[in-house]
């Protein structure tokens, strides 16, 4: 029991073991070139032997960066965010940062709490999903002067630096595809748009595009469904079981579209002959469903990666020049859309 000290292996323990001063140990880590090779070797050996692990919290107290980046998402659970989180995480990891992750369940007040929590940990930056945030959140970010960015949604008028896609355009593209195929009676299934600017933008631009072509969407052609295959399926069944059915269903995202597809099948309708279905997102798996889902592709992985790279650059550079990146959208026509009957 004598030689085995408890977990208090700190830089001075290492220094003692290597018979040098703590400063030298510190320098070995931070400015190796200032330390003679021989000393460095001694120290490395001591570090090995004692199993010393650097304490970033202590470093941080010297104005050093914490090496963490906070990401606040509505939810981790959905395919689409999972993909961005993964890509973002990988990208910042590459730059030596670690991810602090929090989710708020589409509640902007909880988002504020989460951002605050992350700031208590002195993250070097905080990334949020979307452009709509509470005033308190914005104030907090400005006040703390913490680098912040928005992911997922692009808008040129955005306050925060952002990397994402233009969700308004996404909605418009989906609508136009249906319009081009001759659909005039279109059903809409969207998630709740409160606190969700992505859905909001998509829905309003769909409505706008439809309007421009003289197509209106009556109340009974609109349905709300959360991000859930099962509930979207139900919503689709409701929309599709009336006597005068819409000839197409435009869905707020691919998960909903997948549910809609199952719903249509359940109603004995052929897709796309009897009813066309289009989603937005192009999630993993959307290509593999039978028939393949027609959708507007949002490059989640690209967005996540790019966001991670740009953000770490932004944080580590001293210039702090703003950035706003728009990632391209792509119409992916597969098997679920066809000409209107």
Q: Which residue's CB is nearer to its own copies, number 201 or number 262?
A: 262
Site for its own copies contains 136 (CB under 8 A): no
Q: Under rule CB under 8 A, which residues in 238-297 are in contact with its own copies?
A: 258-259, 262, 265-266, 284-285, 287-290
Site for its own copies contains 34 (CB under 8 A): no
Among 12, 34, 61, 333, binds its own copies (CB under 8 A): 61
Name, in order, each residue with C-beta under 8 angstroms of 326's C-beta and a sequence gap of 6 or more.
154, 164, 165, 166
Beta strands in 198-321 (DSSP E): 222-224, 248-251, 276-281, 294-297
Task: Give CA separation, 198 vs 30, 47, 209, in Å.
Answer: 43, 50, 17
Closest contact distance (angstroms) between CB of 41 and DNA is: 10
185 SS3 class: coil
67 SS3 class: coil
From CA 213, how far away is CA 278, in angstroms rounded?
18
Angle 91-92-96 from CA coordinates, rounded to 5°: 125
From CA 11, how far away is CA 53, in angstroms rounded?
9
Q: Which residue's CB is nearer to DNA, number 2 or number 38?
A: 38
Stretch that binds its own copies, among 19-27, 74-82, 126-134, 161-169 (CB under 8 A): 74-82
Name, in order, each residue with C-beta under 8 angstroms of 328's C-beta and a sequence gap of 6 or more.
165, 299
Closest contact distance (angstroms) between CB of 67 and DNA is: 11
251 SS3 class: strand
Site for its own copies contains 57 (CB under 8 A): yes
Q: Which residue's CB is nearer to its own copies, number 67 or number 204?
A: 67
DSSP-derived secondary structure letter, 78? S
Residue 131 · residue 197 · CB < 8 Å: yes
Contact characters 93-132, its own copies, x per CB under 8 A: x----xxxxxx------------xxxxxxx----------
Closest contact distance (angstroms) between CB of 255 and DNA is: 43
Q: Which residue's CB is nearer to DNA, number 29 or number 323?
A: 29
Residue 150 · residue 111 · CB < 8 Å: no
From CA 300, how far away is CA 251, in angstroms rounded?
18
Among 13, 79, 207, 341, binds its own copies (CB under 8 A): 79
98 SS3 class: strand
35 binds, among DNA, its own copies, none (CB under 5 to 8 A by kind): DNA
Residue 246 · residue 184 · CB < 8 Å: no
Q: Which residue's CB is nearer to its own copies, number 170 or number 271?
A: 271
Q: Which residue's CB is nearer to its own copies, number 136 or number 207?
A: 136
Closest contact distance (angstroms) between CB of 20 and DNA is: 3
Phi, psi of 73 (to 5 degrees): -120, 160
21 binds, among DNA, its own copies, none (CB under 5 to 8 A by kind): DNA
Query: Strands 68-73, 98-103: parallel, antiparallel or unpaired by DSSP?
Result: parallel
36 binds, among its own copies, DNA, none (CB under 5 to 8 A by kind): DNA
Q: Which residue's CB is nearer to its own copies, number 43 or number 85?
A: 85
Binding residues (CB under 7 A) for DNA: these are 8, 10-12, 19-27, 29-31, 34-39, 52, 54-55, 58-59, 61-64
Interacting residues toward its own copies by CB under 8 A:
6-7, 51, 53-58, 60-61, 66-68, 75-79, 82-83, 85-86, 89-90, 93, 98-103, 116-122, 140, 143-145, 229-230, 233, 258-259, 262, 265-266, 284-285, 287-290
């Amino acid at each position: 029991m004598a030689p085995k000290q408890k977990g208090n292996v700190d830089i001075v323990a290492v220094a003692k073991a290597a018979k040098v001063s703590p400063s030298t140990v510190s320098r070995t880590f931070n400015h190796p070139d200032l330390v003679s090779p021989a000393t460095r070797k001694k120290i490395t050996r001591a570090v090995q032997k004692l199993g010393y692990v650097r304490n970033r919290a202590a470093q941080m107290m010297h104005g050093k960066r914490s090496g963490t980046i906070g990401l606040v998402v509505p939810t981790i659970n959905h395919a689409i965010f999972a993909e961005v989180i993964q890509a973002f995480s990988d990208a910042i990891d590459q730059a030596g940062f670690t991810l602090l992750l929090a989710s708020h369940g589409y509640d902007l007040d909880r988002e504020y709490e989460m951002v605050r929590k992350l700031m208590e940990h002195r993250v070097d930056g905080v990334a949020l999903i979307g452009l709509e945030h509470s005033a308190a959140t914005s104030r907090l970010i400005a006040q703390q002067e913490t680098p912040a960015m928005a992911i997922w949604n692009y808008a040129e008028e955005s306050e925060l630096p952002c990397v994402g896609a233009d969700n308004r355009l996404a909605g418009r593209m989906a609508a136009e595809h249906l319009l081009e195929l001759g659909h005039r009676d279109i059903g809409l299934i969207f998630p709740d748009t409160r606190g969700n600017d992505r859905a909001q933008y998509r829905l309003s631009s769909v409505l706008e595009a439809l309007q421009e072509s003289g197509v209106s969407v009556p109340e009974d052609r609109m349905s709300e469904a959360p991000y859930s295959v099962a509930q979207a399926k139900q919503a689709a069944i409701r929309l599709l079981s009336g006597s005068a059915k819409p000839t197409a269903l435009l869905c707020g995202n691919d998960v909903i579209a997948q549910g809609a597809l199952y719903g249509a099948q359940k109603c004995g309708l052929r897709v796309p002959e009897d009813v066309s279905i289009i989603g937005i997102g192009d999630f993993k798996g959307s290509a593999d469903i039978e028939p393949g889902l027609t959708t507007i592709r949002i490059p989640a992985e690209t967005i996540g990666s790019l966001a991670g790279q740009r953000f770490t650059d932004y944080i580590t550079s001293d210039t702090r020049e703003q950035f706003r990146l728009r990632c391209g959208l792509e119409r992916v026509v597969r098997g679920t859309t066809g000409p209107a009957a």
